[in-house]
Amino acid sequence: MKFLDQARVFIRSGDGGAGSVSFRREKYIAFGGPDGGDGGKGGDVWVEAVQGLNTLIDYRYQQHFKGQTGNHGMGRNRNGAAGDDVVLKVPVGTQVFEEDNETLIVDLDTLGQRYRLAKGGNGGFGNAHFKSSTNQAPDHANPGLEGQERWLWLRLKLIADAGLLGLPNAGKSTFLSSVTAARPKIANYPFTTLHPNLGVANVDGREFIIADIPGLIEGAHEGVGIGDRFLGHVERTRVLLHLVSANEEDVAESYRIIRGELEAYGGGLVDKHEIVALSQVDALTPDMRAEKLADLEKACGVKPIELSSVSREGVEHTLRLMISAIEADKESEEEPAEKKPGDWLQW
């Protein structure tokens, strides 16, 4: 299944059914009066976050969604049935934007969350609704109201606990494949990863989700390479693992390039907890390793992890640091327990 994280759709809610003009005509009943029923309401258009989806690929092949028109009213005071609703089922983490692709309508970050995108038109009143003491035989009814229509953008931001960052060929996909059951494409050329990958890591009996995104290069925020659009998939993460390849000539400059792209992108990424690791250290001699570790530490201000996904050096230590940062971030979000009346009293 191909990954798609953005789609444009057209929605239209159903029109309301028209009211009926009818008069009761039965034998032996004189002046039966009006008995036209009301029209039914048009169908709404909803969006719902469901389980089992991780891409918007379905909306590449179908872009138009329309609610059903309400049934018309009928004689004998029979009201029309309401039109069926239309539900757009999307993955958890999907955002809905206006046609300008900038104005956020709703962020579906919870499983089962629903939002009405377009309300169906109300049904028209039948002539029985207009009967009064001064107008006992109204001969008119209301048409149903028209539905609402609009173009919208759906944008998916993956829900993950941790995100992987780095230049192309920094070892992100190799790390993901070594600690999870995910099998991303791995090859020795730039931009091997063209779309985000997810995997579930397990350490000390605790699980968390890792997101791997395509590599960034200098100028990505200006569209260089494949751009920085995929950074949206790590906006929701609690910790970032920044991998700097030991095969880079200048590891300090490689680190600064990625940090510069994060600052240019925004979204609060520069403020997230960051773990820095010098990856692919198994390819270095001891002297080269010490030199590059010192250069990277000077650039980032913390001692980086020595990591090799192939030899498994530093892998378990990295996972424990990631899960600790994730749990600490979760604890900081929890509200303090409410104090019961009288708890402040000291006897």
Which domains are delineated in the chain? 1-156 (2.70.210.12), 162-333 (3.40.50.300)
Q: What is the pLDDT of residues 4-49, one digit of tens each?
A: 889 999 999 999 999 999 999 888 887 889 999 999 999 999 999 9
Q: Check residue 60 and give left, alpha or beta (phi > 0: left; psi -120 to 50: alpha).
A: alpha
Q: How many CB atoms lie within 10 A of CB 268?
A: 9
What's the pLDDT tens digit per position in 219-233? 776 767 666 778 888
Residue 194 has pLDDT above 90, yes or no: no
Model confidence, pTM: 0.79
Q: How far apart are CA 57 and CA 223, in angstroms?
A: 23
Mean pLDDT, range 88-113, rounded to an integer: 95
- More confidently predicted of 346 and 97: 97
pLDDT exceeds 50 at position 51: yes
How would residue 342 be classed by pLDDT, with cut points 50, 70 and 90?
Answer: very low
Cα 35 to Cα 18: distance, rounded to the nearest angstrom: 14
Give dist(CA 155, CA 99) in Å, integer: 12
Residue of 220 and 294 predicted with greater confidence: 294
Most confident segment among 157-161, 250-254, 337-341: 250-254
The proportion of the chain whose per-residue pLDDT surpasses 90, expressed as a percent, equals 69
Confidence of residue 129 (pLDDT cuts 50, 70, 90): very high
Q: Give all strands of the β-sheet with 162-165 in edge-to-edge order.
A: 197-203, 206-212, 162-165, 239-245, 273-279, 305-306
pLDDT band at 347 (very low <50, low <70, confident <90, very high): very low
- Digit-coded pLDDT (tens) for 136-174: 999 999 999 999 999 999 999 888 999 999 998 888 999
Region 114-125: mean pLDDT is 97
Of the candidates 198, 152, 148, the residue with the CA atom closest to the CA atom of residue 59 = 152
pLDDT at 28: 82
- Which of the two residues, 181 and 94, has the higher pLDDT score? 94
* Mean pLDDT within 173-188: 83
The alpha carbon dihedral of 317, 319, 321, 327 has a sign of negative
Asked whether residue 250 carries a pLDDT value surpassing 70, the answer given is yes
Residue 183 pLDDT: 80
Mean pLDDT (the chain, rounded): 89
